[in-house]
Amino acid sequence: MTAAPKKVPIPRNGIDYRGKVVLAPMVRSGECPSRLLALKYGADLVWGPETIDKALIGTTRHVNTVTNTVDFTRFSSNGAKNPAINADQRESVIYRLHPEREGKRLIYQIGTSNPETAVQAAKLIAPDVAGIDVNAGCPKPFSTSGGMGAALLKTPEILCSILRALVTEVGEPNEIGISVKIRILETAGQTEALMRSLCATGITGLTVHCRTTPMRPRERAIRDQLKMVANICRESGVACLMNGDVTSRDEALGLVSEFGCDGAMIATAAETNPSVFRPESQGGKAPWEEVVKEYVKTAMEVENRWGNTKFLLGQMVPGKHQIYRAMTHTKSYTEAVKALGYEAVMLDLARKVDQALEIGEYDKPKLTKAERKAANKGAKVSGKQERAGKEEVQRTAAGIKRTAEMAELDMPPDIARDSGPASVPEQASALAV
C-alpha cells in the first residue's frame, strides 16, 4: 500500500491551506472591504496587507459596535511634534478586521526583521485570526530597507529564527498556524536549500511567488522551479500555495493540478475585480458595474478610510469610462455616490460615514504650518513649566533638585513616535507582497 503523504498537523484554531484559492496580501488593496468582497465572491481565505510589527505594537484593540469590526488603533500626531498635548488628535486605525464576515478565514501578514518584535506584535492579533504569515517576498524599499520582505531571503538564518519564534511563542499557545511567503531565488539549488530550512521550522504553510526579487509584476511569472518547491513542501508535510499571474479560480485550479501545488493565490486580477474567485460554473467574473456598487456599499459599512476606497475605485472603474473622470474628482463618499449614480440607495449612508470620518462637507479646518508651529511652541513652554513645578516640589520635599532630563528618565517612551502610525506609506503603490 502507498503511504499517506506526510502532513504537518493543523492547529485547532488554524486552517489548512490545501485545496484553497485565496486573496494574496496586497498593500492598499487588501484592506477590510476588499477582503470581504473577495470572500463574498468565493475566495476561500484572505490575506491582509503586510503590516509592520512595530506599527501594531502599542495599539489598543477595540470592538467597534458601529461597524461590527475589531479595530487596532493608536493616536495620530496629525503633524504635531508632541501628540500627547493635542486635544484634537484622532485615533488612527492600524488594522481592521470583521470577525463575523471574515471569521477564521483571515491570515495576518506581518512585516518584520526581528524575532522579538515579531512575537510581540503577533501576540496582539493572534486570537482574532486563523494564522500569521511572514512576508519574505516584498521587493519594495519600504520593506527591504528595514531588512524585511525580500531582504530576508538574503538572511535565511534570521528568517528561520523569526519563524521558529512565532511557531513556539505565538502559534502553539494560540493554536494557529504560522506560514511564510517567499520568492524564488536565482537558481533552483538556492531555492531548494532555502525551502528545506524553512520547512524545518514548524510552519504549516508556504507560498511561493514565482518571480525573483528583481522582477516586477509586468514580467511574466517563471514556473520552472515550482514543481521542485511543491515536492519539498509535500515531503515536509507543509501546504504549498503558488502565486504569480493567476487570474481566476478555474485557472488557479488548473495550475495547481499541473504543478502539484496545494492551492493558489490571486493578486492583481482580484484587485480590479474580486469576482474572479467565482468559478465559471457559477457565473464567473461579474460585470465591473456590479462589483463597484457592492464595493462602495461594503466600504461604507465598515467606514473604510476614504483615501483607500478612492484608490481601489480607481483600479476597478475602467479608465476609459465616462464615470472614471467624475469619480477621480470626488473627495468623499457622498460625492462618489453621486458620481456613480447610487443616490437612491446609498446617499443617506454616505453622509453618515462622511460625518463619522470627518470628510467632505464635514471636514474640519486644518491648521496651517504657522499655526502648528505656534501650537507646538506653546506646548513646549507649557511642558517646561510643568516639569519645573514638579522639580520645585521634589527639591522642597527632599532637599535634592532633579533636572528635567533626570525626571524624563522615569517617563515611559513615546511608543507612537517609535513605532510610526501606519503599516506602509500612504503614497505606496499597490503591490502583491
- Would you call 108 exposed, middle or buried from its count of C-beta atoms within 10 A (0-12, 13-18, 19+)? buried
pLDDT, one tens digit per residue, over 359-406 is 999 998 776 777 667 766 765 655 555 555 555 444 433 443 333 333
Domain shared by 179 and 206, yes or no: yes
Instruction: State the Cα–Cα distance between residues 121 and 127, nearest whole angstrom.
Output: 12
Q: Given this model, what pLDDT does residue 5 score?
A: 72
Q: Say if CB 178 and CB 134 are below 8 A apart.
A: yes
Q: Quick one: angle between helices 226-236 and 188-199, nearest 10? A: 20
Instruction: State the Cα–Cα distance between residues 257 and 24, nearest whole angstrom.
Output: 19
Q: Which domain holds residue 333?
A: 288-362
Instruction: State the Cα–Cα distance between residues 332 and 337, nearest whole angstrom.
Output: 9
β-partners of residue 132 are: 108, 178
Q: Residue 76 carries which side chain, given as an amino acid letter?
A: S
199 flagged as catalytic:
no
For the chain, the first-to-last Cα distance in angstroms comes to 41
pLDDT below 70 — which residues of the chain? 1-4, 76-89, 367, 371-372, 375-376, 378-433
Q: Which residue in 32, 138, 199, 210 is the catalytic one?
A: 138
pLDDT, one tens digit per residue, over 212-235 is 999 988 899 999 999 999 999 999
Q: Given this model, what pLDDT does residue 429 score?
A: 38
Domain shared by 197 and 340, yes or no: no
How many angstroms separate the Cα of 249 from the Cα of each of 230, 241, 287, 294?
19, 13, 16, 20
Instruction: State the Cα–Cα distance between residues 185 and 202, nearest whole angstrom.
Output: 22
**Which of 309, 335, 362 represents a domain boundary (last residue)?**
362
Domain shared by 275 and 330, yes or no: no
Domain shared by 237 and 293, yes or no: no
Cell numbers standing for residue 272: 480590479
Cell numbers standing for residue 209: 511567488
Q: Residue 418 carries which side chain, given as an amino acid letter?
A: D
Domain shared by 129 and 220, yes or no: yes
Q: Given this model, what pLDDT does residue 420 score?
A: 32
For residue 157, give the CATH number of its domain: 3.20.20.70
Domain shared by 85 and 119, yes or no: yes
Domain shared by 240 and 318, yes or no: no
Q: Given this model, what pLDDT does residue 375 score?
A: 67
Instruction: State the Cα–Cα distance between residues 66 and 228, nearest whole angstrom.
Output: 48
Domain shared by 228 and 251, yes or no: yes
In total, how many domains does the chain have?
2
**Which of 315, 340, 362 represents a domain boundary (last residue)?**
362
Domain shared by 151 and 280, yes or no: yes
Instruction: State the Cα–Cα distance between residues 411 and 42, nearest whole angstrom.
Output: 50
